[in-house]
């Protein structure tokens, strides 16, 4: 092995080691600062409290996502039903394939304090969230993001980081219910352009503007 290759491998190993030992907050801020766009896959489960009984866990939903900061994303549910949430930086389109129905909303400032802003918004997260360390679990570092906007439907967001990338995100609402997301196959800064996020209205779809 050449000296150059040896040094390159050593450098890569040190970077991975640094990411592994950095706090969740350090890893997260580094991820946000260095990631203008990304794509990957997710699994999502809803957890509902039932008056002291064993919590009810939903059937997992799976899909893909792609985003480009600020405010452009395509969040696609593939199973158990097909639905697309797509934002072009100005409007949010919610498409239900089974109903062939599209709901259009103004993206506006609503993105700022929403969970979507964690991945898809601007990198000025501390304007809208109070960030803090949340310990570790199973060897994975975690951080907490609390929306500063009291009108947010979510009270608490806990994100775990692994090797410098988001690994899980748990969203808790004001009713004590939670939604947990697992991420995999995240690719940072893939080649994208603005046209990638232009929503094409499905033929014959019913459209509702909110």
| CATH number for the domain harbouring residue 168 | 2.50.20.10
With 80 as the cut, is the pLDDT of residue 4 above it? Answer: no
The answer to whether residue 80 is domain-embedded is yes
Q: Which range (75-89, 90-104, 135-149) has the least confidence? A: 135-149
The answer to whether residue 119 is domain-embedded is yes
Rounded to 10 degrees, the C-alpha dihedral 92/38/118/180 comes to: 90
Residue ranges making up the domain that contains 166: 19-209
Rounded-to-integer distance, Cα 85 and Cα 69, Å = 16
Q: pTM, whole model, 2 decimals?
A: 0.81
Residues 113-156 have pLDDT tens digits of 677 778 888 767 888 889 999 998 888 999 999 988 777 778 88
Distances (CA, A) of 128 to 43, 78, 92: 26, 31, 20
| pLDDT range class, residue 61, cuts 50, 70, 90 | very high
The answer to whether residue 4 is domain-embedded is no
The answer to whether residue 204 is domain-embedded is yes
Contact between residue 44 and residue 181 where contact means Cβ atoms under 8 Å apart: yes
What is the number of structural domains in the chain? Answer: 1
Question: Which pairs with CB-CB distance under 8 Å and at least 24 residues apart come from 28-36?
Answer: 28/131, 28/143, 28/159, 28/161, 28/166, 30/164, 31/161, 31/164, 31/165, 31/166, 32/123, 32/125, 33/123, 34/188, 35/69, 35/188, 35/189, 36/68, 36/69, 36/189
The answer to whether residue 61 is domain-embedded is yes
Residues 37-57 have pLDDT tens digits of 999 999 999 887 766 666 677
């Amino acid at each position: 092995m050449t000296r150059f290759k040896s040094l390159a491998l050593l450098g890569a190993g040190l970077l991975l080691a640094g990411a592994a030992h950095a706090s969740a907050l350090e890893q997260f801020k580094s991820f946000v600062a260095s990631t203008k766009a990304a794509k990957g896959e997710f699994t999502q489960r809803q957890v509902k409290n039932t008056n002291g009984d064993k919590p009810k866990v939903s059937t997992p939903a799976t899909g893909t996502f792609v985003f480009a900061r600020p405010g452009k994303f395509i969040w696609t549910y593939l199973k158990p039903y097909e639905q697309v949430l797509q934002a072009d930086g100005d409007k949010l389109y919610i498409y239900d394939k089974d109903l062939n129905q599209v709901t259009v909303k103004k993206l506006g400032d609503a993105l700022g304090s929403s969970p979507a802003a964690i991945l898809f918004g601007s990198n000025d997260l501390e304007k809208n969230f109070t960030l803090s360390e949340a310990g570790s679990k199973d060897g994975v570092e975690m951080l907490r993001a609390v929306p500063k906007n009291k009108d947010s439907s979510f009270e608490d967001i806990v994100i775990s980081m692994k090797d410098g990338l988001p690994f899980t995100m748990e969203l808790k609402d004001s009713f004590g219910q939670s939604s947990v997301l697992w991420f995999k196959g995240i690719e940072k800064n893939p080649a994208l352009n603005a046209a990638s996020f232009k929503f094409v209205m499905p033929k014959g779809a019913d459209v509702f503007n909110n």
